[in-house]
Amino acid sequence: MAELNTGGGSGDGKKVRSKKSNPGVDLTAMVDLAFLLITFFMLTTTLSKPQSMPLAMPDKNPKDQVIDRTPIPEDRMMTILIGKDNKILWYMGILKTPRIQPTEAAFGKDGIRREILKNTAYAKKFTDKADEGLIVNIKASDAASYKNLVDILDEMAINKVQLYAIGDITPEEVTLLKDKGLY
């Protein structure tokens, strides 16, 4: 049983001395608890908002499709086809008479990034204006993954391509991919 020392109860005349306790409190347990809570909150919070890539698609209204058709200079147009197994096929100009023949490439800095830089330099030859450069049309096939699309869009941002758009792949281009074994 707990006893309460009330002092003068025993009546033997001794003076009650207040005990001088050490003023330093043992903080170990408190610090333990505080750090435990810190760890908990650190792990459960989402401090950083997710990264996001803004994407603007061209207007797809069937009614005004015919009205505004600015011709794209084919000298400056690069088409990127994304096939299966993270493979890329690209060409310059239009498919029937390409300025640069369809070429295979891989993703990454040694693959498509080098080609885009080369083609940017090539496209610059056909224009005098400083703000005009390469125009890229991205066409992903059914075999491509979402990661491929984001990777290509990322390359556009890294290489500061002047204009790019995501287009629909045509049957001819699918055939081309099939011929190269990329579909």
Partner 1 sequence: MAKHKISRKSTRIDMTAMCDVAFLLLSFFVMTATAKQPEPKPVDTPASTIIDKLPEEGVATITVGDKQVFFTIPRASRRGTLERISQEKGLTFTEKEYKAFEGMDGFGVPLNQLKSLLSKSSAVRNAPGVQIGIPYDTINDQLSDWVKLAREAHKAIYEDQLQTGKINTEEFGKKADLGIAIKGDAKEDFMTVKRIIDILQEQKKNRFFLITGLRNKDF
- Which stretches of the chain bind partner 1, using CB under 8 A? 24, 27-28, 30-31, 34-35, 37-38, 41-42, 44-47, 49-61, 82, 108-109, 140-142, 144-151, 153-154, 157-158, 166
| Minimum CB distance to partner 1 smaller for 77 or for 156 | 156
Round to whole Å and give the CA distance between 119 and 133. Answer: 9
Q: How far is the CB of 51 from partner 1 (least distance, A)?
A: 5
Task: Give 60's contacts (C-beta < 8 A, 6+ positions apart).
Answer: none
| Minimum CB distance to partner 1 smaller for 92 or for 169 | 169
Q: How far from chain centre, in Å, is Cα 103? A: 26
Q: How far is the CB of 108 from partner 1 (least distance, A)?
A: 6
| Minimum CB distance to partner 1 smaller for 92 or for 112 | 112
Q: How far is the CB of 177 from partner 1 (least distance, A)?
A: 13
Phi, psi of 8 (to 5 degrees): -60, 10
What is the three-class DSSP state of 80? strand
Closest C-alpha among 166, 79, 62, 75 to residue 115: 79
| Minimum CB distance to partner 1 smaller for 38 or for 94 | 38
| Minimum CB distance to partner 1 smaller for 70 or for 97 | 70
| Parallel/antiparallel/unpaired status of strands 87-93 and 77-82 | antiparallel
Q: Which two tokens mark 137?
A: 């049309």
Q: How far is the CB of 56 from partner 1 (least distance, A)?
A: 5
Q: How far is the CB of 32 from partner 1 (least distance, A)?
A: 9
The dihedral region occupied by 13, where left means phi > 0, alpha psi between -120 and 50, and beta the remainder, is left
Q: How far is the CB of 166 from partner 1 (least distance, A)?
A: 8
| Minimum CB distance to partner 1 smaller for 31 or for 121 | 31
- Residue pair 183/174 in contact (Cβ under 8 Å)? The answer is yes
